[in-house]
Amino acid sequence: MVPLGSTRLGSKRAVSCLNGAPRKGYEGEEAKEEATLRSELGRVREELSSLYKDLEDKRAQKERLGREMASLRQEIEKLRGEALTKREEILKKREELRELKREIEELKREAKVLRSKLGRREPEELKKTLDELEWTYQTSSLSLEEEKRAVKLIEEVRLLVFIAEKLKEKESKLREREERRLHLVEEVKRLVEEVKKLGELIAEMRRRVKALAQRREEVKRSVKEVVEKIATLKRRRDELKERLRDLLRKKREAEEEALARRVEEEVKRLIEREEELEKIYEKMLEDLKMGKRIKL
């Protein structure tokens, strides 16, 4: 028999040769499919990376638009507050104007009454007349009847002087109220114009807010589209990864199966060789027993 050690050594050498031998590659279609999958997977990953960057940019843009809208709305509220304050001021001044109008009409009426009592007499002439009458009354020797008439005349002129002073006071007050009325009219005009300008500015800002809101909605829709594309590509990426894993698993299984077959064939060949050697060894023993010369 052939020594056992030599048989084991031969088997180990055979397996070592199998392991070191170059493995058979994929069939052409399988290798092509793997290359296609890897290429498409790489393309999908690149597109995903680009979409994530685009998504980040669009979200930043949406936030920026939101901040601009918030800032404009805050400014609008501030301007509305200013406009409201000015409207309230207008209402107060218009109320004051109505009061002034009533007061002016009353002063005019009173002045008209006083003026009607004076007639065409001038206040300065009346004072001069009163002074002359009082001087005459004090310096002249009058009869009782003349004295009564003088006192009556002095009282009448004194009343007219009093009326003239009252008229002067009313007219002065009337001029003061007219000046105040004209001043209030100008202030109301100015405030109305300011409120008008604030209204125009608020309207312009609202149009800007509306435009920003429309732009923000467009960006939101764009973000949604990008998110949907990312989800679709992620599903495609996972599908490609799964297909590639399946392909590589089949590749390993095919390689392991081919290796097993080669090992089995090699072992079978070694066994057959050992059997042949066994027969040769037995024949050599038999020849020795028969005294035949052994040829190596």
pLDDT per position as a tens digit, 227-237: 999 999 999 99
Tell whether 103 is covered by a domain. Answer: yes
pTM: 0.59
pLDDT per position as a tens digit, 280-290: 877 777 767 77
What does the H/E/C string look like for the chain?
CCCHHHHHHHHHHHHHHHHHCCCCCCCHHHHHHHHHHHHHHHHHHHHHHHHHHHHHHHHHHHHHHHHHHHHHHHHHHHHHHHHHHHHHHHHHHHHHHHHHHHHHHHHHHHHHHHHHHHCCCCHHHHHHHHHHHHHHHHHCCCCHHHHHHHHHHHHHHHHHHHHHHHHHHHHHHHHHHHHHHHHHHHHHHHHHHHHHHHHHHHHHHHHHHHHHHHHHHHHHHHHHHHHHHHHHHHHHHHHHHHHHHHHHHHHHHHHHHHHHHHHHHHHHHHHHHHHHHHHHHHHHHHHHHCCCCCCC
pLDDT per position as a tens digit, 118-172: 777 776 777 777 777 778 767 777 677 777 877 887 787 778 888 888 888 899 9
Tell whether 230 is covered by a domain. Answer: yes
Number of domains in the chain: 1
pLDDT band at 53 (very low <50, low <70, confident <90, very high): very high
Q: Which of 155, 94, 103, 107 is nearest to 129 (CA)?
A: 155
Tell whether 97 is covered by a domain. Answer: yes
AA letter at 201: L
Tell whether 191 is covered by a domain. Answer: yes
Share the mean pLDDT of the chain: 83
pLDDT per position as a tens digit, 166-224: 888 899 999 999 999 999 999 999 999 999 999 999 999 999 999 999 999 999 999 99
Range of the domain at 229: 31-241
Tell whether 293 is covered by a domain. Answer: no
Tell whether 14 is covered by a domain. Answer: no
Identify the CATH number of the domain in which residue 45 sits: 1.10.287
Tell whether 142 is covered by a domain. Answer: yes
Tell whether 265 is covered by a domain. Answer: no
pLDDT above 60: residue 24: no
Q: How confident is the model at residue 255, as a pLDDT?
A: 82
